[in-house]
Chains A and B, each alone.
Chain A
Amino acid sequence: GAGVSQSPSNKVTEKGKDVELRCDPISGHTALYWYRQSLGQGLEFLIYFQGNSAPDKSGLPSDRFSAERTGGSVSTLTIQRTQQEDSAVYLCASSLVRYNDYGYTFGSGTRLTVV
């Protein structure tokens, strides 16, 4: 597709359940980011994948959060044993990392509500 696709667009889950959020980046984009946007907050960096390099996981808030990127394309963000404070919009972005050409494109996000 032409843009970054995220699914589902909305997810309501019960506290304690696991959830998986999916991101389909733009084809050929080697860099992929996950961010979290909570109500009234800015964008909180979670994790960054760049090509075949080890991901930068420095933003993951706890060990309940993990992410994978298979085949350098699709990424899945998994939250285990969800808590109410995990409720937020989870945004994915991808970019074609070339010197002087950092075009980051964002998806529409997944709105996660933990009840």
Chain B
Amino acid sequence: AQSVSQHNHHVILSEAASLELGCNYSYGGTVNLFWYVQYPGQHLQLLLKYFSGDPLVKGIKGFEAEFIKSKFSFNLRKPSVQWSDTAEYFCAVNAKAAGNKLTFGGGTRVLVKP
């Protein structure tokens, strides 16, 4: 069974639309949560991360994510996307229950139409 799930594989939207990408994980206990982005032809970059504290995390480029422990979720949001947000987005979880290795979801390809 997949330990980190991203249910949307492809998302197409227009500029200025709002974006929400789902991420669910199956580990119990202490987790650290990440969203990475991979722009076309580039390497993975960290968007934001959650370790503890405020469950609403602000990242770069106007992205934010909310950790909901009861739902084992860490969804990524952006209120108004730009064409330059076209990329593939990966959720990742580092869980003590999994030996602290970083496990990625399958990724979501986002295409923003100008």
A binding-site residues for B, Cβ under 8 Å? 31, 33, 35, 41-43, 45, 48, 50, 56, 91, 93, 95, 97, 100-104, 106-109
From B108, which residue of chain A is reached at the shortest CB distance?
Answer: A42
- Asked if B8 lies at the interface with its beta carbon under 8 angstroms from chain A, I say no
B binding-site residues for A, Cβ under 8 Å? 6, 32, 34, 36, 43-46, 49, 51-52, 90, 92, 94, 99-107
For the complex, give the distance between the alpha carbons of A107 and B38 in Å.
12
**CB–CB A43/B107 < 8 A:** yes
For the complex, give the distance between the alpha carbons of A93 and B38 in Å.
14
**CB–CB B103/A104 < 8 A:** no
Count A/B pairs, Cβ under 8 Å.
Answer: 51
Query: Across chains A and B, which 4 residue pairs bring their CB atoms closest together, nearest first?
Result: A42-B106, A43-B104, A106-B44, A42-B107
Complex partner residue of A50 from B45, B90, B100, CB under 8 angstroms = B100
**CB–CB B101/A48 < 8 A:** yes
**CB–CB B51/A104 < 8 A:** no
For the complex, give the distance between the alpha carbons of A48 and B106 in Å.
19
Complex partner residue of A102 from B44, B49, B90, B104, CB under 8 angstroms = B49
Residues of chain B with a CB closer than 8 A to A33's CB: 101-102
Complex partner residue of A35 from B45, B99, B104, B106, CB under 8 angstroms = B104
